[in-house]
Amino acid sequence: MSNRHLSRIIVLQTLYEWDFRPEANLAELTRLNIENFNEPIDREFIERMMAGVIGAVVEIDAIIARAAPEWPVEQIASIDKTVLRMAIYELQHDRETPPRVVINEAVELAKAFGGDNSSKFINGVLGTLYRDDPRYADDESSAEADNVEMTDTTQSIEPLEELHDE
């Protein structure tokens, strides 16, 4: 497991928990999740992802709503929504990682932590965003993204309370 992969798992677990307890201390949640692993991590990446996703959550949720109009954001399983938020933040704002890597990582997280259809749903939404983004029109991998099939998940959750920074 690479530093970045483990770091994404920590971000996912922290944001997922915070999704249910928005009043919780985010720094404390992050610290506890980091302590659960006895491996090297990329703290700078974790901090950047956490701040970025939380800071852009309204914008990201609007992107999700446009990419998956048949699934209102509040009905998307919390774990799937968290994976999507992370990946969309990386694709839109943190251009350090190539888009194919971001999408592959998101699909792997969905397979590991989501439901039966999570990886297909995540792949479909991110593939749609990737295909429709003019920044990637000349990317060699855009032809592969054309083969992505939009798939729905059957999971749902209670509406997420508005996220706020403590």
Place of tokens 């990582």: 105
Per residue in 19-55, pLDDT (tens digit) is 888 888 999 999 999 999 878 899 999 999 999 999 9
DSSP string of 57-92, one letter each residue: HHHHHHHHHHH-TTS-GGGS-HHHHHHHHHHHHHHH
Tell me: pLDDT of 17 over 80. yes
Euclidean distance between CA atoms 7 and 33, whole angstroms: 10
Q: How far apart are the first and last CA of the chain?
A: 31
Euclidean distance between CA atoms 91 and 121, whole angstroms: 17
